[in-house]
Amino acid sequence: MKSDNKIIIVEPSPIVSAGIASFFNDIKQVSIVSQLDRIDRMEEKLAAYNPDVLIINPLLIAYDTNEQFLKLCRDFSNVIPVALVTSYVDAGILKQFKDVIEINDSKQKVVTKIFNLLSDNKLTQEKPESIELSNRETDVLVALVKGMTNKEISDKLFISIHTVITHRKNIIRKTGIKSVSGLTVYALLNNLVDETEIYK
């Protein structure tokens, strides 16, 4: 297991959130990089920190935001989603998660669960890091090569400018291509856009 595993906690109750975080205080291999009480800014944080584990209270994923959550799971497929269950949650919802932390779990039990998930994940993800662009990164790339500004991209995809910039950084890191015209060539070679859409 690598030594800097990152966790984001999304939990409405500050007491519970602080409690879970305190379990990891004295554990060197894991750091809590962000604690949120709502899911609005989750995509931004996921893009910024690229965490290993996302501990989230499923109560926050209401029926109308379930689609959004599923999409995030697909876009950030290297993040392990873990449910933090504080009251009764439908089993169908819990199926979306790799594991479940119960409100009555001991510190020992919670830490063990997370460690097991992290080492499983390492076995399946031995390759350095996915170099394939996520769906969201592809959306940003396509918008970029069509000549849209960060602001326009942020409006079109309903994400903050900050998130757009983070996606752009990840695109550069993954493709090794820094200039927009270079990325245009990349997008064309991979059939992400059509020639007629770019050169008008």
Partner 1 sequence: MADLVLGNSKLLLMFPRFGMDLGFGDHSIAEVCAMNNVSAPFFLMICNVYCNDDYTPSPDDIASVDPKALINYLLESHKYYLNERLPHIEEHLNHIIKACIPKYGNMLHRFFEEYKNEVVDHFVYEEKNVFPYLQQLVNQNVKTDYKIRVFHENHTNIEDKLSDLMNILVKYLPANVFPKERIEIALDINELSADLMSHALIEERILIPFVESLEA
Instruction: List residues binding partner 1 (CB under 8 A).
Output: 175-179, 181-186, 188-190, 195, 199
Q: Which is nearer to partner 1, 107 or 178 (CB)?
A: 178
- CB 193 to partner 1: min, Å: 11
- CB 73 to partner 1: min, Å: 28
- CB 102 to partner 1: min, Å: 46
- What is the residue-wise DSSP string for 122-152? HHHT-SS---SPPHHHHHHHHHHHTT--HHH
- CB 76 to partner 1: min, Å: 24
CB 45 within 8 A of CB 166: no
Single-letter residue type at 133:
L
CB 60 within 8 A of CB 85: no
- CB 89 to partner 1: min, Å: 45
Q: Which is nearer to partner 1, 48 or 192 (CB)?
A: 192
Going through 43-154 in order, the beta strands assigned E by DSSP cover: 53-56, 80-85, 99-102
Q: How far from the centroid of its chain's Cα atoms is residue 123's Cα?
A: 20
Cβ atoms within 10 Å of 168's Cβ, excluding its own: 18
Write out the two tokens for 33. Answer: 């990089």
What is the C-alpha to C-alpha distance for residues 81 and 42, in angstroms, rounded to an integer? 12
CB 141 within 8 A of CB 178: no
- CB 177 to partner 1: min, Å: 5
Q: Which is nearer to partner 1, 21 or 177 (CB)?
A: 177
Q: Which is nearer to partner 1, 91 or 189 (CB)?
A: 189
Q: Facing residues of 8 across strands?
A: 34, 54
Q: Which is nearer to partner 1, 118 or 145 (CB)?
A: 145
Q: Which is nearer to partner 1, 3 or 179 (CB)?
A: 179
